[in-house]
C-alpha cells in the first residue's frame, strides 16, 4: 500500500466515523427536544380536557381538538393515577396512513366518574423537520469535508513530489555509467537532507567501484604474463626425458594448478568486461546456426563421454552481442558435458521464445537460490565456480530470464528471450 493511500484511508475513516457519530448524537438530541415540546403540548391538552369537563360538566368532543386525537375509556375505578408518556403508531384518518406518534395516558375523575384519557399527537411533521435540520446542517459539513480532503490530497501530492523525483533518480542511478546521481531542487528541509545524503553516498559508491574495478583489471592483466611464463616453463620441463617419475607427477600437478588459475583469471576478466558493459555492439544472430556450429566444436568431447545428444532447433534469430551469445552457448555446453556422466544425456530445445539445455548428472537437485553466485560449486566439481555466474551476468546484460529446474533426473537451464 502506498503512503498516500494509507494516509487518506485513515483520514477518511476518522472523518466518516466522527461525522456519523456527530450526526447520530445531533439527531437524538434534536429528537429529545422535539419530544419535550410534544409532551408539553399533550399536558396542555390534558388540562383543557379537565377544564372543559369541570365547566361544562360533559366530556369534550374528540373531534374538537386540533392536531391531536383524544380517546376516552370509562373505568370502574381509578387504579393508577400515574401519567404514561410513550411512542406509538396510529392510523391517521385524515392522511389515511400509519404515522408515528407520542401519547399521554392517565386516569382522572370527570364529573366524579373515573375515566382513562389518552391523548395522541403525531410526530410525523416533527420528524420531517428533524431530517430537514440534520440535512441542512450536515450536508454542508460533508461537502466541506470532501473539499478539504481533495485540497489535502492535492497538497500532499505537491509536497511529496520531490520525494518521488528523488526515488526516480535513485532507480535510474547506474554505477556503470559516467553520469553522477542527479540531485533535486526542493524547499523542504527533510528532502534536502535526504538528497544531500544520496549525492554523497552515490559519489562514494562510484569512487570505490572505480578503484575496485581498476584494481581487478590491473591485477588480472598483470597475472596473465607470469602465468603464461609458468605454463611455458612447465611444458618444457614435462617434455624433458631426464625427469624422474616422482618429479613428473609433481610437475603435472603444478601444471594442472596453473591451468586452473589461468582459467580463473580469464573468467574474472570476462566478468569484469561484462559488468563494465564493455561488450555493447549488437547484431542479428541466427541461434540455430550458432548452436549447430557449437555442436560440431564440442563433438569430440561428446563422443569421448559417449553422451546421447537430443537436439530440436527451430529457426530463431535474436538481436544481441555476438560475443556474449557465444559465451552463453559455450558455457551451457561446457556445463552439460563436464557435469554429466559417461553415457548420459544432453537435450537441447530451441524455439522462438526460449532455449532449454538439459543434462543428466550424478548430482542431485541444486539450490536455485545460490547456484548462480560466484565461486559456487559442488564438492565434486573441478571448475572455477564462475561458469554459472557468467551465464547469469550474460542473461542480465541481454535482458533474458534465466531459470533452473530439476525434473526426472535432468538439470535444465531455461533461457527466455525478450522477443515478446
Q: Residue 85 belongs to what H/E stretch?
A: strand 84-92
Share of the chain above pLDDT 70, in %: 77
Q: Residue 355 pLDDT > 80, yes or no? A: yes
Pairing of the two strands 308-313 and 345-350: parallel
Helices 161-172 and 124-159: crossing angle, nearest 10°? 40
Model pLDDT, residue 69 = 76
Q: Which residue has the cell 549447430?
A: 292
Model pLDDT for residues 48-79, shown as the tens digit of each residue: 777 766 666 666 655 545 667 777 777 777 77
What is the pLDDT averaged over residues 338-357?
88
DSSP 101: E
Average pLDDT, the chain: 77
CB 380 within 8 A of CB 363: yes
Model pLDDT, residue 78 = 77
Q: Residue 150 pLDDT > 70, yes or no? A: yes
Backbone φ, ψ for residue 113 (5° rounding): -115, 140
Identify the weakest region by mean pLDDT among 210-214, 222-226, 303-307. Answer: 222-226
Quickly list DSSP for 136-173: HHHHHHHHHHHHHHHHHHHHHHHHTHHHHHHHHHHHH-
Model pLDDT for residues 169-207, shown as the tens digit of each residue: 888 777 666 666 777 777 788 878 888 888 888 888 878
What is the pLDDT averaged over residues 276-283?
64
Q: Residue 22 pLDDT > 50, yes or no? A: yes
Identify the weakest region by mean pLDDT among 97-101, 329-333, 340-344. Answer: 97-101
In terms of pLDDT, which residue wins out, 240 or 14? 14
What is the pLDDT averaged over residues 233-242?
70
What is the pLDDT averaged over residues 76-94?
76
What 3-state DSSP class applies to 376? coil
Q: Residue 114 pLDDT > 60, yes or no? A: yes
Distant-in-sequence, close-in-space partners of 39: CB < 8 Å, separation ≥ 6: 85, 102, 104
CB 110 within 8 A of CB 53: yes
Q: Residue 227 pLDDT > 80, yes or no? A: no
Identify the weakest region by mean pLDDT among 25-39, 102-116, 333-347, 367-381. Answer: 367-381
pTM above 0.85, yes or no: no
Q: In what order do the strands lie in the sheet with 97-110?
A: 68-74, 113-122, 97-110, 84-92
Amino acid at each position: 500500500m502506498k503512503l498516500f493511500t494509507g494516509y487518506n484511508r485513515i483520514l477518511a475513516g476518522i472523518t466518516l466515523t466522527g461525522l456519523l457519530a456527530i450526526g447520530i448524537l445531533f439527531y437524538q438530541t434534536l429528537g429529545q427536544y422535539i419530544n419535550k415540546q410534544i409532551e408539553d403540548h399533550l399536558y396542555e391538552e390534558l388540562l383543557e380536557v379537565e377544564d372543559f369537563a369541570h365547566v361544562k360538566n360533559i366530556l369534550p368532543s374528540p373531534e374538537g381538538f386540533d392536531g391531536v386525537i383524544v380517546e376516552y375509556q370509562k373505568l370502574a375505578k381509578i387504579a393508577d393515577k400515574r401519567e404514561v408518556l410513550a411512542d406509538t403508531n396510529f392510523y391517521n384518518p385524515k392522511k389515511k396512513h400509519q404515522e408515528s406518534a407520542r401519547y399521554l395516558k392517565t386516569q382522572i375523575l370527570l364529573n366524579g366518574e373515573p375515566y382513562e384519557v389518552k391523548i395522541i399527537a403525531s410526530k410525523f411533521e416533527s420528524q420531517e423537520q428533524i431530517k430537514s435540520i440534520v440535512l441542512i446542517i450536515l450536508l454542508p459539513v460533508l461537502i466541506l469535508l470532501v473539499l478539504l480532503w481533495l485540497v489535502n490530497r492535492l497538497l500532499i501530492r505537491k509536497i511529496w513530489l520531490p520525494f518521488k523525483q528523488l526515488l526516480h533518480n535513485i532507480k535510474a542511478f547506474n554505477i556503470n555509467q559516467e553520469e553522477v546521481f542527479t540531485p533535486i531542487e526542493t524547499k523542504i528541509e527533510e528532502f534536502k537532507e535526504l538528497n544531500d545524503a544520496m549525492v554523497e553516498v552515490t559519489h562514494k559508491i562510484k569512487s570505490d567501484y572505480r578503484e575496485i574495478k581498476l584494481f581487478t583489471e590491473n591485477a588480472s592483466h598483470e597475472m596473465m604474463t607470469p602465468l603464461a611464463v609458468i605454463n611455458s616453463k612447465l611444458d618444457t620441463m614435462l617434455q624433458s626425458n631426464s625427469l624422474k617419475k616422482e618429479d613428473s607427477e609433481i610437475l603435472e600437478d603444478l601444471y594442472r594448478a596453473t591451468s586452473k588459475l589461468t582459467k580463473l583469471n580469464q573468467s574474472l576478466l570476462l566478468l569484469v568486461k561484462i559488468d563494465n558493459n564493455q561488450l555493447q555492439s549488437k547484431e542479428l544472430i541466427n541461434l540455430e546456426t550458432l548452436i549447430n556450429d557449437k555442436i560440431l566444436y564440442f563433438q569430440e568431447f561428446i563422443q569421448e563421454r559417449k553422451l546421447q545428444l537430443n537436439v530440436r532447433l527451430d529457426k530463431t534469430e535474436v538481436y544481441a552481442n555476438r560475443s556474449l551469445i557465444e559465451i552463453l552457448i559455450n558455457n551451457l555446453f561446457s556445463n552439460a558435458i563436464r557435469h554429466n556422466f559417461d553415457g548420459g544425456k544432453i537435450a537441447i530445445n530451441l524455439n522462438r521464445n526460449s532455449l532449454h539445455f538439459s543434462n543428466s548428472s550424478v548430482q542431485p537437485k541444486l539450490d536455485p537460490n545460490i547456484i548462480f553466485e560466484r565461486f559456487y560449486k559442488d564438492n565434486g566439481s573441478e571448475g572455477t565456480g564462475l561458469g554459472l555466474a557468467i551465464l547469469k551476468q550474460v542473461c542480465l546484460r541481454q535482458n533474458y530470464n534465466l531459470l533452473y529446474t530439476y525434473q526426472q533426473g535432468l538439470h535444465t537451464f531455461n533461457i527466455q528471450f525478450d522477443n515478446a
